[in-house]
Amino acid sequence: MITTNQKNHAVRIKSPFYQNDGNCGLHRYLEADFVNRFKQNVTKHQFDLPQFSSWQQEEQRSQFDDALVLRLPLHRAFHIVSCEVVCDCLGEPALDPDKVASAGFVIRRINSAGEQAWILEDGEAMGWQGASVEQGDPDRERRLCANGVLHQSDDQATYSGEEVHPLHALKIKDATNKTHTLLFGYLPLGGFYYQRDTSEILDQDDQKNVATSTLFWPFGYRQSNGQLWSDEHTKPVVEGKPTEAFFELLRVLVNRYHLGENSIEENAELEALCRQIGLYDAKGLALNLGNGVYNETNQALFTPYRKQTLYDYLQACFANASYNPLVDWIDRQETSIREAHLACTPVQLELLPRPDDTGKIDSTVLILASQARYMRYLLGQRLLNMTLDKIKEIPLPKFAQNNEDVFQVRVFIRYRDNLGQERLHWADTTRSISFRVAAPFDPEASRPAMIQMPSLADLRRGLAKGVSMITPSDTFSFINSLKSKEGASADALPKGNKPKATPDTGIQWICSFSLPVITMVAMILLMIMISLLNFIFSWIPWVRICLPVPKLKFPKGGG
């Protein structure tokens, strides 16, 4: 007869038998065949190897505390988590591996906010979120109620939603011939997520201020100094000559948002505003309205002299997909402004170009205070939306390297009791030691990578059978026009942002390059750049270490 105690047969997860510190085992291997190596080590009782203990002394290099800093697979380092499962009764006999339905572990982030779990929702990573105090089942399809009955997927049972990594059961005997059931598994230190909830990422007011702090008043708050709207602000362009504030506005509208290009839905509000701002006949205004001030009450008087809207002008400049005269104009003004600031002289801007690049315009741009205020608002909102959209598409790493990015492993097991019912048990106190995760380019975590450089004798051997590139005819014509001793001639280079006209022959070219030559060129260019920048950073002792090594000789007849 089976008693209740037999039915509710309990198990316990503890440290593996070869260590007695109360923690899960954490082992490091420096070769890809780490699983077989671990199984071989524990089967042969090779517990004095570096991967079991001494490796941890090498990894205590955190700048914040004494926690281990685990290397990534990128550094050719791999980690194994291990523990032991026993029956929770006198003598702690090993749990029969046949009773293990499945086992796994989760990674928890430990910081001042408490314990956080890596949450998945419909297979998509949602990032680190507060861990539930109730230890639910991370598998939605295997959630268990208190009596061990398996819930159906549509039942409202506790579900943790954490990402789970598997553990495998291994039955072995120690030196005294006692049986042990080990659970072991690979500790993955990669992963990323997309930040879908951006409500707490950026303060909207601060972000909008950033958007407009880089522009001069009245289109931004740079050097506003508490200015109020004045009559001079109504004419940001006088007879084709813009103010520096209007130049910066054009630079943002054209270079950043491509205002004037078709089919950019995010520009709709800016487009509507720029359709309200006009370019006016300067001579007609001077002849008929004299010094009349453009404002909310008399703007109808200026309507007959409107030649086109600001948006019409921008759209005409973008009409030619291959060349925009406003882009070249902006580039020249940036050079002029930079030189004027260095020489401490007044900035002299050129007249705005015509959209067809046949000369300069002589129109005057008029703007209302309300339009300038609305422009400031739209630019702030546009930058905020663009920034948040970018954040949503940037993969954020699962493991960061900040002060509070400390992690632990917590283990669980699903086992079958004496009645064959599946039960879930989480380890109470047995966890891994705390660890951090190294950055991909952490210099202390990196391991040497050997690349064989070609000999100079290899540069002229054989055909160019390395990387191949399919090249359009115009690109090939440009490359082919380069002179080996003169470089790019004046005829080969495009003028401004105008492409060089090249007849379309309907032919493409496949160009192959010699890998030894490419490798040697890359090495030479690298050393040139390092030497040049060494004048600034003085980093040569940290960049390169050259050690003499005898030429390796391998035994003959090896197979």
DSSP code string of 509-535: EEEE--HHHHHHHHHHHHHHHHHHHHH
Mean residue pLDDT of the chain comes to: 84
451 located within any domain: no
- Cα angle value 427/428/430 (rounded, 5°): 65
CA pair distance 378, 77, nearest whole angstrom? 50
pLDDT at 234: 94
Residue 82 has pLDDT above 50, yes or no: yes
pLDDT at 449: 79
Together in a domain, 224 and 300: yes
Together in a domain, 359 and 461: no
Together in a domain, 78 and 96: yes
548 located within any domain: no
554 located within any domain: no
Residues in the chain: 559
Residue 370 has pLDDT above 70, yes or no: yes
Taking the model in full, what pTM does it have?
Answer: 0.71
Using pLDDT thresholds of 50, 70 and 90, give the confidence band for residue 145.
low
469 located within any domain: yes
Query: 496: Cβ–Cβ under 8 A, 6 or more apart, which residues?
Result: 323, 327, 328, 331
Burial of residue 515 (number of CB atoms within 10 Å: 0-12, 13-18, 19+) = middle
Helix (H), strand (E), coil (C) string for 201-242: CCCHHHHHHHHHHCCECCCCCECCCCCCCCHHHHCCEECCEE
55 located within any domain: yes
User: Contact 9/95 with Cβ under 8 angstroms?
Assistant: no
Percent of the chain exceeding pLDDT 90 equals 45
Least confident of 200-204, 247-251, 278-282, 342-346: 200-204
CA pair distance 498, 324, nearest whole angstrom? 8
Together in a domain, 127 and 55: yes
| Number of CB atoms found within 10 A of residue 499's CB | 12
* Mean local confidence (pLDDT), 417-440: 89
Domain count, the chain: 3
Least confident of 46-50, 138-142, 325-329, 362-366: 138-142
Together in a domain, 328 and 463: no
- C-alpha of 111 from chain center: 23
pLDDT at 504: 58
pLDDT at 154: 44
Tokens of 52: 């079991």
Percent of the chain exceeding pLDDT 70 equals 85
Together in a domain, 211 and 186: no
Question: Which of left, alpha, beta for 293 (phi over 0: left; psi -120 to 50: alpha)?
Answer: beta
pLDDT at 399: 94
Together in a domain, 273 and 344: yes
pLDDT at 200: 58
77 located within any domain: yes
* Mean local confidence (pLDDT), 448-454: 80
Of the candidates 393, 421, 446, which is a domain's last residue? 393
Residue 128 has pLDDT above 70, yes or no: yes
Together in a domain, 415 and 520: no
Together in a domain, 178 and 324: no
Together in a domain, 349 and 229: yes
442 located within any domain: no
Together in a domain, 243 and 115: no
Residue 260 has pLDDT above 60, yes or no: yes
CA atoms within 13 A on the CB side of 392: 10
- Boundaries of domain holding 364: 204-393
Together in a domain, 245 and 286: yes
pLDDT at 555: 58
Tokens 């970018």 locate to 390
SS3 474: helix
118 located within any domain: yes
pLDDT in tens, 299-319: 999 999 999 999 999 999 999
pLDDT at 233: 92
* Mean local confidence (pLDDT), 449-471: 80
